Amino acid sequence: MMGKFVEYPFDTVKVRLQTSESQVFSGTLDCLKQTWQHEGFHGFYRGLTSPLIGAMAENAIAFYAYNRIQSTIHSFSNQPSLSLSQLFVCGGLSGAICAFVISPVELIKCKLQVENVQAYSSNSASKPKFTGPLSVLAHLLKTQGIAGLYKGILPTVARETIGVGFWFGTYELVCRRLLQMQGKGEKSELGPASIVLAGGCAGIGYNITSYPIDVVKSFIQTDDVRDAAAKQKPGILSTIRTVYARGGIPAFYRGLGITLLRAFPANAAMFMTYEYLSRLSIALR
């Protein structure tokens, strides 16, 4: 919970950079400056409630599914341990499962994060359409039904399948390399510094591999907030063309810098918590 509170302003800046045109924000520092000038402290935390709840469910499902899928593959394998490619598959499948839980959460979050941005360029103080997550949820259910909560589900599934595959895969890879370097045999023998390094690298691996898909996802989920007059629902291919037209390949990486800045410590803390809780549960059996 505390980790999400600390990292959320970084996420807000990331989503705003992903979905805005270059003339709105010249870069990360400009986005930080304008958000503070127009909305103050509160502007960095619009939509926080939704991901606070979603993060707990997402992490629980991701780790549970990852371990269960590993056990299933183990039952069909004669090997003492799974290969890195098998662990990547386990991670990818757990990510695909998580996507159906986090897609509505991210939809609500992203709409709230970018809603006020369009007023920046005109220096107008337009009243927000949504007052909070429940306001967005009620609007979506009223106008689009349950299906409206899953706008952008395909890129979300793609992002989570690839990203979480690399997330767990990178973590396992770094742990194995550290075990070799330290002459140890079990992951439970690794100390806190090793877990921090492996977890931080996992966060970097997730974001670098899945970031362009995340840009497309955010763009699709916020199209009606950015352009209320839009009549056509954006498809994946048309969104890719639109993003590319805004700045070529670099447009798919807007906001990556600030994302990586918070990815290492946030994921290091997450894997540290997971690893030591796992060790505690084993010790208490």
Give the least confident one: 31-45, 54-68, 226-240.
226-240
What's residue 47's pLDDT? 86
Query: What is the rounded average pLDDT for all residues in the chain?
Result: 90
pLDDT of residue 124 exceeding 60, the answer is no
* Residue at token pair 């890129």: 155
Q: Tell me, what's the pLDDT at 198? A: 98
Q: What does the alpha-carbon distance between residue 37 and residue 117 come to, in Å, rounded to a whole number?
A: 12
237 — pLDDT class (breaks 50, 70, 90): very high
Which pLDDT belongs to residue 137?
Answer: 94
Q: What is the arithmetic mean of pLDDT over 121-137?
A: 76
pLDDT band at 125 (very low <50, low <70, confident <90, very high): low
- Other CB atoms within 10 Å distance of the CB of residue 82: 17
In this predicted structure, the answer to whether residue 59 has a pLDDT above a threshold of 80 is: yes
pLDDT in tens, 195-231: 999 999 999 999 999 999 999 999 999 998 877 656 6
Q: Both tokens of residue 256?
A: 């990556």
Q: Provide the pLDDT confidence category of residue 119 given band limits of 50, 70 and 90.
A: low
Mean pLDDT over residues 59-78, rounded?
A: 92
Higher local confidence (pLDDT), 234 or 199: 199
Please state the rounded mean pLDDT for residues 98-121: 88
Task: Reply yes or no on whether the pLDDT at 130 is more than 90.
Answer: no
Under CATH, to which class is 2-283 assigned?
A: mainly alpha
**Cα angle vertex 110, ends 105, 113, to 5°?**
125
pLDDT tops 80 at residue 18 = yes
Every domain of the chain and the residues it spans = 2-283
Q: What per-residue confidence (pLDDT) applies to 285?
A: 77
pLDDT at 2: 57
- Whether the predicted pLDDT of 248 surpasses 90: yes
Range 153-179 burial, b when 16+ CB lie within 10 A, else e? bbbbbbbbbbbbbbbbbbbbbbbeebb
- Has residue 55 got a pLDDT over 90? no
Rounded distance, CA 70 to CA 76, Å? Answer: 10
CA–CA distance, 172 with 83 (Å, rounded to integer): 10
C-alpha distances in Å from residue 119, one per residue of 34, 115, 126, 218, 267: 11, 9, 6, 19, 34
Looking at residue 20, its pLDDT comes to 85
